[in-house]
Amino acid sequence: MCKRRKNTFEQELDSSNYGYLEERLQQELPYSLKTYYPVKLLRKGVLKDKRVLVDQWPDFKTVLVTDKQRMSTPHRVYCFCKDDNSTLVDSILRQVSNELGSSLVLFGCSPGITDELIKMNGSFVRRLIEDTSMLMFPRENFKNLKKLTLPDGFKEKRLEEENVELVLSNLQYREAKEYIVHMINILPSTCILNKDDKPVAWILQQEYGCCGMLHVMPEYRRLNLGSIVGQLQAEKIFENGDEVYSWVDKTNHPALTYNLKNGVVPLPDFIVTCSEYMYRRVTN
């Protein structure tokens, strides 16, 4: 079933439609990644507090995955548009923002849609980071890559909740604690411990499919731990039957160099944005 929401342009999908939507979004990969992966997790029952909105069903052109209810952390909205209908996207975002009573952090829109949203809303929409390049780690590249080994005395484990404060201390957005706890509980992550069992490198997968938050403690950056933790993480994701993606700020040349060195390749013409859609109370 698909429920048309009163006085809006969007429809909320019933969970019985998630399987079909997942198949359709898979056909649109890699461009649909930031909605495909959350829908896949919803279909599996791994994500629970999300809803899926489409402009029409079953012949959709726009898909958004949003939170169901207000949370303490910024609301993330994942977007896929087959065309650049920024007016439709704006209408849905305004409705969602008003229902949640919160600003939204929007992932996955093309630079063109984001530019149009800024034109329509002025200072109420802003880019949070530079536009980002999407990258993919082809399975064949991984198979042919020379596998690296941990230094003597070092070992690998997954991230645990006790590590969250350390991860946060190396991030710009400390309000992401609730989100990170959730991600390490439901998705693959990799952490390298030194001889004293202290975390010195880590990476995790996020609910929109990309690996990120890679960090190596400064005093350990000559041990190739960034490449090692990336390989270990990729192996886990491939074993789950998924593909390995990441996204990198186009101006972050060290990160781009790291990815290229480790077999990760840019996806041509696939640039996405991360922006904030600020809350404005809408009255009927």
Question: What is the share, in percent, of the chain residues with pLDDT greater than 70?
Answer: 93
Is 70 exceeded by the pLDDT of residue 284? no
Q: Which of the pair, 266 or 69, is modelled with greater confidence?
A: 266
Question: Using one digit for the tens of pLDDT, what is the confidence trace for 154-170?
Answer: 999 999 999 999 999 98
- Give the pLDDT confidence score for residue 7 in this predicted structure: 45
Question: Using one digit for the tens of pLDDT, what is the confidence trace for 14-26?
Answer: 999 999 999 999 9
- Give the pLDDT confidence score for residue 283 in this predicted structure: 57
| Alpha-carbon span 37 to 211, nearest angstrom | 12
State which amino acid sits at residue 204.
Answer: L
State which amino acid sits at residue 221.
Answer: R
Mean pLDDT confidence for 175-193: 92
Mean pLDDT confidence for 177-200: 95
- Give the pLDDT confidence score for residue 249 in this predicted structure: 86
Mean pLDDT confidence for 214-223: 95
Question: Using one digit for the tens of pLDDT, what is the confidence trace for 104-114?
Answer: 999 999 999 99
Is 80 exceeded by the pLDDT of residue 257? yes
Mean pLDDT confidence for 91-112: 92
116-130, 149-163, 197-211, 247-261, range with the lowest pLDDT: 247-261
Angle, vertex CA 176, rays to CA 81 and CA 203, nearest 5: 85
Mean pLDDT confidence for 28-32: 93
pLDDT band per the 50, 70, 90 thresholds, residue 43:
very high
Question: What is the share, in percent, of the chain residues with pLDDT greater than 90?
Answer: 75
Mean of all residue pLDDT scores within the chain: 91
- Give the pLDDT confidence score for residue 8 in this predicted structure: 52
- Please report, for residues 104, 168, 174, 179, 202, the alpha-carbon distance to residue 164 in angstroms, rounded to integers and kept in the order given: 23, 6, 10, 10, 11
3-class DSSP state of 54: strand
The percent helix, strand, coil of the chain (3-state, each to 5) is 40, 25, 35
- Give the pLDDT confidence score for residue 140 in this predicted structure: 95
| Alpha-carbon span 54 to 60, nearest angstrom | 6
What does the chain come to in residues?
A: 284
- Give the pLDDT confidence score for residue 176 in this predicted structure: 81
- Give the pLDDT confidence score for residue 207 in this predicted structure: 93
Q: Which of the pair, 155 or 102, is modelled with greater confidence?
A: 155
Residues with Cβ within 8 Å of residue 38, at least 6 apart in sequence? 47, 50, 65, 78, 207, 208
